[in-house]
Copies of this chain bind each other. A is one copy, B any other.
Amino acid sequence: MDNTARLSETHAHSSCAVRSRGDDCRFCGVRHLSICQALESDELDLLEKMASDAHFDERAVLFREEDEAGVVFNITAGVVRLVRSLPDGRRQVTGFALPGDFLGLSLEKTWHFSAEAVTGIVACRFRRAAFEDFSEKKPHLLKKMHAFATHELGLAQDHMVLLGRLTAEEKLASFLVEMKRRWSRVAGHEAGLIRLPMGRQDIADYLGLTIETVSRVINQMQRDRRLVIVPDGIRFVDQTYFDDLAL
């Protein structure tokens, strides 16, 4: 049984103020993926003293658009969807946060998007003000955060091209290639399997499509022997087809 599935069975303890971290930053599975890679061993010790574990159940809301950002998160397990909503209910999923991803890079006082657990989540949680103070004393951490924010800006631009200029088929291919690339960096992933823990509606809202179109395109790809649909995801059969279509 994989890690995320196991975690989704746990219960949320997000209101628990007591530190109860079983792990040590130095052995953290996502350290090499996260902003913590900027820190030396002694700095990690300091950071660890500021951290608390946060667990969220599937469908739990980590925070809402316009909420005050009292804390920031480093996701260690599970998948989070980042959502901007319109008053009439239309949604745009602006991204999926995977293990190693940081929520709160901007250090701004309010969130500008919502974050909802797609699977059970484990995250390293910090009080925003404390994290901000820490980052001001460690310029290389601030620089790393800036590099991460900047990298996200590049991804956001990629996504604009996808939303504005790609066909439904190209959008799906790009999404699947992106997910394959991102999972390949996560420890414990099964090579070849592209996990899709999010539902079809989330994928549709990420790609600016409807759920029906997502379903039709994926199933057509399966009929065309480009991929096979498996429990919890898909597998590429014709990698070249996807590489040629993707952004």
Contact = CB atoms under 8 A, between A and B. Distances in A.
B150 A106 contact: yes
Interface residues on A, range: 35 or more
Interface of A is mostly: helix
A197 interface: no
A211 to B, nearest CB: 14
A10 interface: no
A208 B150 CA distance: 23
A220 to B, nearest CB: 22
Contacts of A107: 146, 150
A159 B161 CA distance: 11
B165 A92 contact: yes
A90 B84 CA distance: 27
Contacts of A247: 86
A165 B91 contact: yes
A238 interface: no
Interface string A153-172: 11011111101110000000
Contact of A208 (B84, B92, B153, B164): B164
Contacts of A25: none
Interface in A207-230: 207-208
Contact of A164 (B139, B147, B163): B163
A158 B195 CA distance: 28
A142 interface: yes
A143 B146 CA distance: 9
A46 B207 CA distance: 46
Contacts of A154: 106, 112
B142 A84 contact: no
A178 interface: no
B149 A156 contact: no
Interface of A: 84, 86, 90-92, 94, 105-108, 112-113, 136, 139, 142-143, 145-147, 149-150, 152-154, 156-161, 163-165, 205, 207-208, 247
**Nearest 5 A/B pairs, CB to CB:** A164-B208, A106-B150, A156-B156, A163-B163, A92-B161
